[in-house]
């Protein structure tokens, strides 16, 4: 079965390169979310539901259940797919995000969700600004990240976040049992989504939890450790 890796915001598929090299699976692929280093399909409005539907279609096209690996917004989307179409998933891993009840978005997300304010923030998000901000927040490749933040990505981010003000409640699986093995990885010092939220996600989804030293991008700061945890997770589900 393939392994499918899903990035978050404001990232692209290249973020997974280090982890993929450590994993060493020939059947692994990192997908590109529409608008994030990839074209936006005709009629695609960049809402959270459309991204979830898009990912489900990508998995469905593979023809067999996948090992789903995800981070940040990719984790929210992956959780939605795993809970609504579990037949597409053999195992799942969510890193540094999850929807298990209402939560307060971080300050930048709230700005993006606010009309006019979000547009003003995006105007200021030039590569010269994005790169040092990403570096200060522990991003493993801030220059590449900054280079990919173009007008298409900016608009995609605004539309996605504005569709997701209440995503924690709207995508909460409730008491639904997810009969797929789950692993939650979380940066111990994530400033955007505190480790306590990772504990709540793991408890609600009945998934294993591993904290990794670092911030929001901890799994990419430690690709060998991440690959080891993934490999063990996959093996336990065999």
Per-position DSSP letters for 85-137, written without gaps between them: -GGGEEEEEEES---SS--PPPHHHHHHTSTTHHHHHHHH--HHHHHHHHHHT
Which has the closest alpha carbon to 77: 88, 223, 134?
Answer: 88
Structure confidence at residue 85 (pLDDT): 96
168 C-beta neighbours (distance < 10 Å), count: 18
Of 125-129, 166-170, 174-178, 217-221, least confident by mean pLDDT is 174-178
| Beta pairing class for 28-31 and 182-187 | unpaired
HSE-CB of 76 using CA atoms within 13 angstroms? 28
Predicted local confidence at residue 238, as pLDDT: 81
DSSP for 128-183 reads HHHHHHHHHTT-S-HHHHHHH--HHHHHHHHHHHHT-TTHHHHT--TT----S-EE
Burial label for 15, CB within 10 Å (0-12, 13-18, 19+), is buried
Query: In the prediction, which pLDDT does 213 show?
Result: 97
Task: Locate 236 and state its tokens.
Answer: 């336990």
Supply the pLDDT for residue 1. Answer: 82
What is the mean predicted confidence (pLDDT) over 116-140? 96
Pairwise CA distance, residues 104 & 126, whole Å: 26
Task: Write down all domains in the chain, each with its CATH number in brackets.
Answer: 3-103+167-236 (3.40.50.1820)
Residues 114-137: what's their mean pLDDT?
97
pLDDT of residue 179: 84
- For residue 45, the SS3 value is coil
Task: Using the predicted structure, report yes or no on whether residue 54 has a pLDDT greater than 90.
Answer: yes
Instruction: Note the pTM of the prediction, 2 decimals.
Output: 0.97
Q: Looking at residue 176, what is its pLDDT?
A: 77
- 157 pLDDT above the threshold of 80: yes
Task: Tell me the average pLDDT across 135-145.
Answer: 95
Res. 227: pLDDT tops 90 = yes
pLDDT at residue 177 in the model: 74
Q: Give the per-residue pLDDT at 178.
A: 81
Determine which helix (DSSP H) or strand (DSSP E) holds 30, and give its type and residue range.
strand 28-31
Evaluate if residue 25 carries a pLDDT over 90.
Answer: yes
Q: What is the mean pLDDT of residues 77-81?
A: 98
Task: Calculate mean pLDDT across residues 208-217.
Answer: 98
């Amino acid at each position: 079965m393939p392994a499918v890796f899903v990035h978050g915001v404001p990232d692209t598929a290249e973020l997974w390169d280090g982890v993929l090299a450590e994993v060493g699976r020939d059947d692994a692929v990192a997908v590109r979310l529409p608008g994030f280093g990839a074209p936006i399909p005709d009629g695609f409005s960049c809402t959270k539901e459309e991204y979830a539907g898009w990912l489900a279609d990508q998995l469905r096209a593979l023809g067999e259940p996948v090992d789903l690996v995800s981070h940040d917004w990719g984790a929210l989307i992956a959780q939605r797919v795993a809970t609504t179409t579990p037949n597409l998933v053999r195992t799942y891993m969510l890193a540094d995000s999850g929807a298990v009840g209402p939560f307060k978005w971080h300050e930048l997300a709230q700005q993006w969700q606010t009309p006019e304010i979000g547009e003003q923030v995006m105007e200021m998000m030039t590569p010269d600004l994005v790169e040092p901000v990403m570096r200060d927040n522990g991003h493993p490749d801030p220059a590449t990240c900054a280079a990919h933040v173009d007008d298409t990505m900016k608009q995609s981010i605004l539309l996605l976040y504005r569709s997701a003000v209440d995503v924690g409640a709207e995508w909460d699986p409730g008491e639904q049992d997810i009969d797929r093995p789950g692993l939650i990885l979380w940066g111990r010092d994530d400033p955007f989504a505190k480790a306590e939220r990772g504990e709540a996600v793991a408890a609600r989804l009945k998934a294993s939890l591993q904290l990794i030293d670092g911030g929001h991008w901890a799994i990419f700061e430690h690709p060998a450790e991440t690959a080891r945890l993934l490999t063990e997770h996959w093996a336990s589900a065999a």
